[in-house]
Amino acid sequence: MKKVLILILTLAMLLSLVAVLPACTEEEATTATPTTTAVPPLKPGGKLYIATTTSLYDTGLWSYLEPMFEQKYNASLHITSTGSGAAFKLGESGDVDVLTVHEPAGEAKFIAGNYSSARVPFAYNYFLIIGPETDPAGIKGMSPEDAFQKLFTEGQANPDQVKFVSRGDSSGTHVKEQTIWTAAGYEYEDVENSGSWYVEGGGGMGAILTMADEKQAYTLTDMGTFISYQTKLDLVPVVDEGDILLNVYSVLVVNSTKNRTMADNMVTFLTSPEIQDLMGRYGVEEYGLQLFTPCAGQDL
């Protein structure tokens, strides 16, 4: 009887093991099956690297145009906002495919160095000399050259009352400022070293506007960035006329680009009738003024 009981218990244990084994095997098989996550394919158009002047970026124009280009050409834009001088260096080193800048002399030098084959103007506006509404230097309505002469004289005589904040960063705006100083009869090095009234900010246009506002100082700005920042500032335009204040934006394809087709697409895009029309209307509804005047096909 004892032997029969042992035999029954042994069979029961074996049956239990048989019942458990398939379940374990099933669980192990399930655990061993790897899960995969779908990786989205790269966009067929690839990446396009752009170095742009800060004024085109600070106005929000690039944020407006970027998704349109990416959707139209199925590409991915990587935009670096910097001064024109730094943009040229990025182009020379081959770190970007396209430049959008506003410094004609620098553009000509860039082409002469065989870094690009052509500059293609696509928009323009004007530079402004802005300052405190009280206009402590008394330059309102003057020509840009005469205004700079008086700023220099009044700044040295009353440095606590009359200050000028410069970009000081070799940007297109900074180069334009130097051009006006030269036209006014000064060596720029003499202006830089003329006293505490002259402040080199070393920042983008938006940052310089903020700094000048804090110091209640004069500065040179492109019209587009000023209009887009105007509600944040207590500064007003004091000089807004003069041929020397013309500000032309151009696009240049870098010769060393590894994505020539997409770089050429950017030139086509910026100069197309559709985008030219959108540029001309950009900001008008929000600010009541035109930030950029389209100029594709014009020799500027």
For residues 61 and 10, what is the distance between their CA atoms, to the nearest angstrom? 83
CB 159 within 8 A of CB 216: no
161's tokens? 């009352």
**CB-neighbour burial class of residue 140 (10 A; exposed 0-12, middle 13-18, buried 19+):** middle
pLDDT averaged over consecutive 10-residue blocks of the chain (300 residues)?
Answer: 40 41 40 44 75 93 97 97 94 98 96 98 97 98 98 97 96 96 98 97 94 98 94 96 97 97 98 98 93 96
Q: Where are the domains of the chain?
A: 47-124+248-294, 126-245
For residues 121 and 119, what is the distance between their CA atoms, to the nearest angstrom? 6
For the stretch 244-264, pLDDT in tens is 999 999 999 999 999 999 999
Return left, alpha or beta for 147; rule: phi > 0 is left, psi -120 to 50 is alpha, else beta.
alpha
- The alpha carbon dihedral of 246, 249, 250, 256 has a sign of positive
H-helix or E-strand spanning residue 126: strand 120-132
| Predicted local confidence at residue 24, as pLDDT | 36
Return left, alpha or beta for 42; rule: phi > 0 is left, psi -120 to 50 is alpha, else beta.
beta
For residues 156 and 196, what is the distance between their CA atoms, to the nearest angstrom? 8
Q: Which residue, among 122, 118, 225, has the nearest Cα to 171 in the 3D structure?
A: 225
227's tokens? 């209009």
Q: Which residue, among 58, 53, 97, has the nearest Cα to 78 in the 3D structure?
A: 97
| 47-124+248-294 against 126-245: fold identical | yes
Q: Is 181 helix (H, G, I), strand (E, B) or coil?
A: helix
Type of residue at 44: P
For the stretch 128-152, pLDDT in tens is 999 999 999 999 999 999 999 999 9
Which residues does residue 164 pair with via DSSP β-bridges, in sequence order? 198, 218
178's tokens? 């130097």
For residues 233 and 231, what is the distance between their CA atoms, to the nearest angstrom? 6
Q: What CATH code would you report for 47-124+248-294?
A: 3.40.190.10
For residues 173 and 50, what is the distance between their CA atoms, to the nearest angstrom? 19
According to CATH, the topology of domain 126-245 is D-Maltodextrin-Binding Protein; domain 2 (3.40.190)
CB 237 within 8 A of CB 128: yes
